[in-house]
């Protein structure tokens, strides 16, 4: 049985392993002991916090193999990005140049630095270890976050975003960043990525070009990757697009990967989720669902075989599943068909 639960202090070494395996471009998990331990402490505080409106909360969860106790993946939700530190994007726009006298019209794409997503919630830190990338486990880990959005709407913003990893090579070199590095920054992509991951974003405001960048002035290699995703990220993007997420012309300031967005209440899995009452009994056959207990701070979610009776508003599950979710018969849970 695989269980999704809030991260604990004892999960540090497992999180460090995941951070190392995630590689370049995974900004939200820097390989830094102090930063990782701070992330764990912040998440624990967030799960215990009484929230009236979303703020600087970060909910970091792990996927645990209950049988062995091994942590095999992680996922997270940020309640409201930019509430403490500036949250930057490039906004893709169009600059039109027209001369009626000469009969010339030119449309040029531009990149303008902005903070337009301030206050939005963010899907982030999704990573599954290689040997567990099977049997729809990654899909379950990703979609489980939509149950949290459905169960606790007051903890999150009206808009939900996800930053997709942009194009970079195995050494962490980004064609887009290489152009910025040459003309403005003077530091390589892994260094910039690391500084952002540890929260040191002052250099962005200090060194980022203050005026819009004309895309056609970028190197051909940089132009080719604007709005494109890393090959390893394509499955994650496809899953989000199936949920209703779309790119509205915003890209990452380092690798130009696309950011996708959707109104929280318009996410397909949020709309498909429902609250049902638990009935505990042995299940021989049924349907696979993702279920969360809708409790804080003892949040739990799992994938299990159940029988749903919508007319009665009931969901039948085994005693083992109920125990893992920390619920008893008659308790209310949030459910999502797999």
Catalytic machinery residues = 230
Taking each helix axis from N to C terminus, what angle separates 33-48 and 12-22, rounded to the nearest 10 degrees?
A: 120
206: tokens are: 């200090």
Closest CA to 27 of 228, 172, 214: 172
CA distance 179 to 266: 37
Q: Which residue has the tokens 């639960």?
A: 5
Instruction: Please give the structure tokens belonging to residue 272.
Output: 């498909």
Distance CA 274, CA 310 (A): 10
Among residues 36, 78, 271, the alpha carbon closest in space to that of 162 is found at 78
Identify the H or E element spanning 138: helix 137-151
- Angle, alpha carbons 170-174-180 (nearest 5°): 155
Q: Which residues of 163-186 are buried (b: 16+ CB within 10 A; e: fewer)?
A: bbbbbbeeebbbbbbbbbbeeebe
> Which tokens in the block code for residue 73?
């993946």
> What kind and span of H or E run contains 253?
none
């Amino acid at each position: 049985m695989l269980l999704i639960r809030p991260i604990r202090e004892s999960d540090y070494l497992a999180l460090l392993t995941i951070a190392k395996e995630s590689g370049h471009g995974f900004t939200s998990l820097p390989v830094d002991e102090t930063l990782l331990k701070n992330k764990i402490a912040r998440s624990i505080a967030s799960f215990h916090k009484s929230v009236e409106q979303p703020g600087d909360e970060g909910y970091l969860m792990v996927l645990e193999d209950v049988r062995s106790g091994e942590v095999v993946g992680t996922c997270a939700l940020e309640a409201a990005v930019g509430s403490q530190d500036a949250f930057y994007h490039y906004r893709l726009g169009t600059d039109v140049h027209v001369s009626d006298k000469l009969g010339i019209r030119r449309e040029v794409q531009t990149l303008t630095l902005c903070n337009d997503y301030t206050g939005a919630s963010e899907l982030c830190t999704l990573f599954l270890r290689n040997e567990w990338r099977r049997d729809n486990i990654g899909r379950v880990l990703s979609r489980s976050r939509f149950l949290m959005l459905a169960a606790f709407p007051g903890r999150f913003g009206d808009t939900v975003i996800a930053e997709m990893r942009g194009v970079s090579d195995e050494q962490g070199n980004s064609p887009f960043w290489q152009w910025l590095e040459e003309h403005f920054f003077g530091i390589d992509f892994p260094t910039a990525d690391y500084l952002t991951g540890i929260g040191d974003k002052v250099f962005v405001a200090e060194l980022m070009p203050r005026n819009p960048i004309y895309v056609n002035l970028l190197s051909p290699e940089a132009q080719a990757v604007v709005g494109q995703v890393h090959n390893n990220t394509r499955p994650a993007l496809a899953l989000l697009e199936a949920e209703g997420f779309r790119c509205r012309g915003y890209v990452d300031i380092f690798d130009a990967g696309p950011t996708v967005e959707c109104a929280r209440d318009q996410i397909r899995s949020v709309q498909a989720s429902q609250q049902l009452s638990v009935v505990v009994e042995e299940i021989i056959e049924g349907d696979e669902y993702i279920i969360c207990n809708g409790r804080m701070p003892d949040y739990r979610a799992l994938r299990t075989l159940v029988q749903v009776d919508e007319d009665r508003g009931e969901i039948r599950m085994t005693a083992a599943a109920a125990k893992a979710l920390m619920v008893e018969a008659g308790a209310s849970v949030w459910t999502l068909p797999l």
